[in-house]
């Protein structure tokens, strides 16, 4: 079976470190983000400033990824993909789309943009981390447009064999 080339748009959270270190058998990640490194804090400040600007303009978190040579993009943390290619997204809570701004998710314009991207033909799957996340998505967004794309995917870790078990 051919491996699927996936472009990850992940942060440095332990969930994503685990996914990149132990990908599913059929998945090959195209690039693996490095922790820290040269220019990390410069880009972090730039991303934070862009996020504040988007939030002030009532726009949800969005990204266009140039020069993507992958079969699909795996986004996280509520970042909607502007590229016209297949993508999936995992999400903790709908507030992630709006920079953790609860009021912004109630804004009609902002909600419309989020729903437009999630219901697009390019968004293939919406993967909330648990049933509570799924229920929140259904509560805050127009679930009729996206319900068939929602599938709970619990974050998992690989099994560590512990040979030094203390019986006491």
pLDDT in tens, 21-59: 888 899 999 876 555 544 555 566 776 777 677 667 888
The answer to whether residue 118 sits within a structural domain is: yes
In terms of pLDDT, which residue wins out, 80 or 165?
Answer: 80
Q: How many residues does the chain have?
A: 168
Domain-embedded: residue 157: no
Give the mean pLDDT of the chain. 86
Residue at 168 is within a domain? no
Domain extent at residue 61: 4-149
In a domain, 38, yes or no: yes
Per-residue pLDDT averaged across 84-94, rounded? Answer: 95
User: How many distinct structural domains can be found in the chain?
Assistant: 1
Q: Is residue 167 assigned to a domain?
A: no
Ranges 50-59, 87-96, 104-113, 128-137: which has the least confidence? 50-59
Q: Is residue 165 part of a domain?
A: no
């Amino acid at each position: 079976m051919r491996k699927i080339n996936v472009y990850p748009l992940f942060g440095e959270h332990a969930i994503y470190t685990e996914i990149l270190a132990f990908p599913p058998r059929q998945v090959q990640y195209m690039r693996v983000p490095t922790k820290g490194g040269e220019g990390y804090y410069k880009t972090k400040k730039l991303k934070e400033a862009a996020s504040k600007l988007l939030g002030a303009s009532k726009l949800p978190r969005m990204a266009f990824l140039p020069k993507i040579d992958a079969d699909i993009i795996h986004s996280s943390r509520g970042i909607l993909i502007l590229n016209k290619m297949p993508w999936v997204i995992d999400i903790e809570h709908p507030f992630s789309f709006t920079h953790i701004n609860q009021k912004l998710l109630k804004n009609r314009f902002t909600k419309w943009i989020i729903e437009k991207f999630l219901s697009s033909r390019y968004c293939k799957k919406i993967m909330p981390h648990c049933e509570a996340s799924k229920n929140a998505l259904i509560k805050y967004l127009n679930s009729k447009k996206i319900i068939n794309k929602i599938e709970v995917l619990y974050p998992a870790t690989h099994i560590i064999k512990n040979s030094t078990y203390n019986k006491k």
